[in-house]
Each structure stands twice: as C-alpha cells, then as structure tokens.
Amino acid sequence: MGRTWRELWPRVKKLEENHEVGRALSPEEEKRLLEAADANRSQNVRMMVRVSLLTGFRAGELSALAWGQVDLAGRVLTVGKSGADE
C-alpha cells in the first residue's frame, strides 16, 4: 500500500495560484466584438461570439460543447470540462 497523505503532505509542491480573473467587456468593446463577428463570413463565429457573451463560457468550454449539454426547450447550456487546462 502507499503512504498516507499525512506522510506525503510536507513534500507536496504547492502550485502558484492564478490571481488573474480577467474583466468584463465595456459596452463599446462588446459592440465592436459583435460588429466584427457579424462581418465574419462564418455563421459559427457569429453564433459562438453571441453564446459566449450570453453565457460567460470560456473558449475551451464553448468549443468542447456537445449536444448532450444543450437543452433547447429549457434554454439551458451545461458547462462540461472547465478550468485552468484551457
């Protein structure tokens, strides 16, 4: 069997905490982003920008979104894999 957590704890390297939380877009920045998305030929880009603005999903959460996480009738999106690995 392995060692107990109590034995390992003093030797565990602690990771640096990320204190950068980002910031919200200003109304002008949001307007410019939506205009740029509308100017893009890809309907997927337009949709992804709007969904991310409405939900707050991170880029990785949005690109990994699967139909199993989408409830169109209930108007609910469920976050899947999330975190610092994105």
Encoded tokens for 68:
């199993």
In a domain, 8, yes or no: no
Give per-10-residue mean pLDDT for the chain (86 aa): 76 79 89 96 91 87 88 89 54
**What integer pLDDT is reported at residue 29 of this predicted model?**
96
**What integer pLDDT is reported at residue 40 of this predicted model?**
93
Quote the domain boundaries for residue 32.
Answer: 24-63
Total domains in the fold of the chain: 1
In a domain, 73, yes or no: no
**What integer pLDDT is reported at residue 82 of this predicted model?**
60
In a domain, 29, yes or no: yes
In a domain, 9, yes or no: no
Distance CA 49, CA 59 (A): 10
pTM value is 0.60
